[in-house]
Every structure is written in C-alpha cells, then in structure tokens.
Structure 1
C-alpha cells in the first residue's frame, strides 16, 4: 500500500483510513489491533479487495488493484486470498465436508478432486472423524476449524482472519492459534484482526489502528 485512504461520505466526510504506507511480505504473520471503530475492518476489507481505497495504490503480487476492473479484482481475491470470520458462516443442513467443498465450487476442479481436497483439509484440521457432521452438531472450535479448512483448501497465498477466536473459549482458542501458527510455518501469509492481546501476541508483526491511522508496534 502507498498513500491508501478510505473516506466515506455520510453527509460529511468520515476518514475511516488515513494515508497508509504498508508492505506485507510473503510468509508474514501480522496482527491488527485497535479499539472498535478505529478502522481495523476498513483496512482488512481493503486488504482483501472487499472495498476500494479512496486514494492511493494497492498492489497484490505486483498487480495494481485500485484501477483494475471488478472482474480482475474478483479473480485476484479468489486465487490469492482466503477468509475466516468470527461467525463461521457455515451452512446448516450440509455436512462439514460439503461446507469445505463449497470453497472450491468456482475453481477448476471436478467433483472427485474437490472431495479429495476437502477431505485432506479436514484431516489436517484434526476433523477426520467429524466430516459427515452437520455444523449444528459441532462445537464452536470444531466449526471454526471447518471454516479454516474451507478457507485453505483452495491453497490461497494469504489468509485473512477477522476475530477468528471471538466466539471461542480459551481451550479452543489455543487449538485455532496452533493451527494458524502451523499454516504460517508452512508458508501461508496470515493476517489477523483481533481485540485479544493473547491472539495478537502470536504474530511476528503487530499493527495498531487508531482513528484511521495505522502504526507498526
């Protein structure tokens, strides 16, 4: 990012993100902290190409994303990024395996290959014994691991996590943090938004956002 800002017009301008210069390298583990309303979600949405900066340049693997078309932005988002959210976003009435397969529906793989990749992802998350369970039958920690499996099964280069442990107890938080550490050790770039100092402390880099200003701690 170079000179990236995000301003919303709500009758009068609201500066959600002020001029930001930031580089995240492949293999980084970054946490983003700050009070509610500070601009964390705005920063994450711009990172993940879910929102467009008002000004500035944002390049992903050398490709300028601010001025490119929506189709290219969508292609980059689908090929490069994976997303994990606090509320899991799993479909009830579908098995854990089917929920993970959904993450591959718009990729190049045929059904048999999608099933294989989804199975391998759940096994990696320690959920081989829960593949056929409905999300309503799973604990919060298990549901978040299914969500992580879905996010990584397409082999993204960057994993964005928005409060990934916000709905979990301390034991399940530790399980999820161990998984994120292992994914990062294996080469995945991990970016986590969190209010939890324990979660933030796992990262090698800490960004603090206050009133739209991003600082490296």
Structure 2
C-alpha cells in the first residue's frame, strides 16, 4: 500500500539537518502501525511524508504503486484527499459549527457528493457513539468527545489509511483508553492505521511497532527490542 525506499528528508538551517536517513519502510493494507521516538527524532517527519504533507529530499515514495515524489502539489493534494484521513492532537474543530458540520467539512476535498455528506457524517458520528451530540458545538464537548468527532471527520469519507499524530496527547487516561478502543474497532473493520505517539501505552496497542532515533527507523520485535 505505502512504500518508502531510501527516503531522506534534509532541512537547511546554516547546516544540513537529517530528519530522516535512508528510510525503507512498507505499510500493508490492514496494518496497525505505531511510531515512537524522542522529540526531534523524526517521527512526525515520517508521518508527514507518508501522509503527503511533506516531500522527501531524496528517495522514492510509492502509494498503491504510484511514485509520488514527482507529483505536483495539485495531484499530491488530490491523492491525499481521496486516500488519507488525519487525526491530530489539537482536534482542529471549528467553534461555532456543530459536530455534524465539522465532520461534513472533512469531506469537502474527497470524492463525495454534497448530498451524501450529511448521511455519511451522521453515520460516522454514530459509529463513534456521538449521534446524540451531532448538533452540539465542539466547545461544549469533553476532550475525549472532541477527539472522537475528529476521528469521525477523518473516516467519514472512507479513507484507505488513517494517520494519527499524538491523538491522545492532550487526553487523560480514561479518554485515552476510549480513543484507543475506537481506533482498534475501526482497524478490525479493515482500516489501515499509522499512529505517531510518545506514550508507551498507546505504542503497545500497535500490531507493528516502529522506533525513530536520529532519523533512522527500526522495527521492534514483540518483546520490545529492536
């Protein structure tokens, strides 16, 4: 489904900073991958490249066999909008819009007809256990509820891959567990998920676990050793 081959991401700040070094990684359909690493290790850069939010400095990145590094931003945006969903720590919900409207807005750039957005948004909120909160302003929701609205927004249009960047970073333990249960449920239904996290509790829920250290990606074996 996703394949990085020799990918590097280098930033210039008076000298070269290697955020990713010679990374080779494949993500198969149905994977549940968690990615850990210290702050500044390169884990968010990895997610941004996988999600087509950033481009490699060198190397190859294929999505469903299609090379993406030579795509212009319009085409990259089209692939991103049709195939990927995103959940972030900060929720990014619009105040003054209902939970339902926020979920509908997430489908603007997806190949979903306008007339079907509402029914899909309602179904996604119901899946998250939030049908009764569809007309609520996000400001009246708890942190856990807001994150579930954000997940509903990300999955309503039927993405092939869900990318989550610290999705539980601002939640307490009870809400963290609730969000993880939601992610595991939609994964069991077939969605491929990649989660970046600093939390070892979250990382252990992945079926595949990656660690990024100084821009180098390694896969952990089940006992936690690389």
- Could you list the runs of 5+ residues in structure 1 that have no partner in the other structure? none
Q: Does 1:115 align with 2:115?
A: no
Counterpart of 2:176?
173
- Could you list the runs of 5+ residues in structure 2 that have no partner in the other structure? 221-226
Report the 3-state secondary structure (helix = DSSP H, G, I; strand = E; otherwise coil) of the residue aligned with 1:21: strand
Q: Does 1:211 align with 2:214?
A: yes
Deviations 1:176-217 (A, max 9, x none): 001100111111000000011110000000100001010011
CA distance in 1 between partners of 2:163 and 2:109 (Å): 19
Higher deviation after alignment, 154-163 or 67-76: 67-76
Report the 3-state secondary structure (helix = DSSP H, G, I; strand = E; otherwise coil) of the residue aligned with 1:118: helix
Match of 1:76 among 76, 79, 87: 79
Counterpart of 1:50?
53
The count of aligned residue pairs is 217
CA contact (8 A) 2:210 2:218 kept: yes
Counterpart of 1:202?
205
Counterpart of 2:137?
134
Q: Does 1:89 align with 2:95?
A: no
CA distance in 1 between partners of 2:31 and 2:74 (Å): 27
Counterpart of 1:153?
156
CA distance in 2 between partners of 1:100 and 1:31 (Å): 25
TM-score in terms of structure 2 length: 0.94
CA distance in 1 between partners of 2:114 and 2:29 (Å): 31
CA distance in 2 between partners of 1:109 and 1:50 (Å): 21
CA distance in 2 between partners of 1:212 and 1:40 (Å): 8
Match of 1:30 among 30, 33, 53: 33
User: Does the C-alpha gap of structure 1 residues 46 and 108 become closer, same or farther in structure 2, counting only changes over 3 Å?
Assistant: closer
CA distance in 2 between partners of 1:212 and 1:106 (Å): 32
Report the 3-state secondary structure (helix = DSSP H, G, I; strand = E; otherwise coil) of the residue aligned with 1:17: strand
CA deviation after TM superposition for structure 1 residue 104, in Å: 1.3
CA deviation after TM superposition for structure 1 residue 111, in Å: 3.7
CA contact (8 A) 2:7 2:60 kept: yes
Report the 3-state secondary structure (helix = DSSP H, G, I; strand = E; otherwise coil) of the residue aligned with 2:25: coil
CA contact (8 A) 2:82 2:111 kept: no
Report the 3-state secondary structure (helix = DSSP H, G, I; strand = E; otherwise coil) of the residue aligned with 1:2: strand
CA distance in 2 between partners of 1:181 and 1:59 (Å): 26
CA deviation after TM superposition for structure 1 residue 72, in Å: 1.5
Match of 1:98 among 98, 101, 111: 101
CA distance in 2 between partners of 1:108 and 1:184 (Å): 22
CA distance in 2 between partners of 1:115 and 1:43 (Å): 33
